[in-house]
A and B are shown apart, each in its own frame.
Chain A
Amino acid sequence: MADPMKIRANAVGDSTEVKVLMSHEMETGQRKDAQGKVIPAWFIQNVHVTHNDKVVLAAQWGTAVSKNPFMSFKFKGGAKGDKVKITWVDNHNDTRTDEATIA
Chain B
Amino acid sequence: MDHDRREALRRGGAVSLLTLVAAAGWLPRGAAAETWNKDAFATHSLDETIKALGGGAPVPSQDIVFFSTPDIAENGAVVPIGITSNVPKTEAVAILVEKNPNMLAAVFDVPAGTEPSLSTRIKMAQTSHVYALVKADGKYYVNSKEIKVTLGGCGG
Chain A contacts for B101, CB-based, 8 A = 28, 30
Q: How large is the interface on A (under 10, 10 to 19, 20 to 34, 35 or more residues)?
A: 20 to 34
Closest partner residue, chain B, to A75 (CB atom): B114
Residues A23-48 near B (CB distance < 8 A): 26, 28, 30, 45-46, 48
B37 close to A (CB within 8 Å): yes
| CB atoms of B118 and A57 under 8 A apart | yes
A56: contacting residue among B100, B107, B111, CB under 8 A: B111
Decide if A46 touches B114 in the complex (CB within 8 Å): no
Judge if B136 is at the interface, Cβ distance under 8 Å: no
A77 to B122: give the CA distance in the assembly, Å.
28
> Interface of chain A, helix or strand or loop or mixed?
strand
- Judge if B147 is at the interface, Cβ distance under 8 Å: no
Q: Contact: A74 with B114, CB < 8 Å?
A: yes
Assess whether A46 is in contact with B111, with CB atoms less than 8 Å apart. Answer: no
Q: Pick the residue among A64, A70, A71 that contacts B97 (CB under 8 A).
A: A64
Tell me if B72 is interfacial: C-beta within 8 Å of chain A: no
- Which residues of the other chain, B, contact A62 by a CB distance below 8 angstroms? 41, 102, 104-106
A72 at the interface (CB under 8 A from B): yes
CB of A76 within 8 A of CB of B113, answer yes
> Do A60 and B36 touch (CB < 8 A)?
yes
B121 touches A45 (CB 8 A): no
Binding site for A on B (CB under 8 A): 27, 29-32, 34-37, 41, 77-79, 97, 100-102, 104-111, 113-115, 117-124
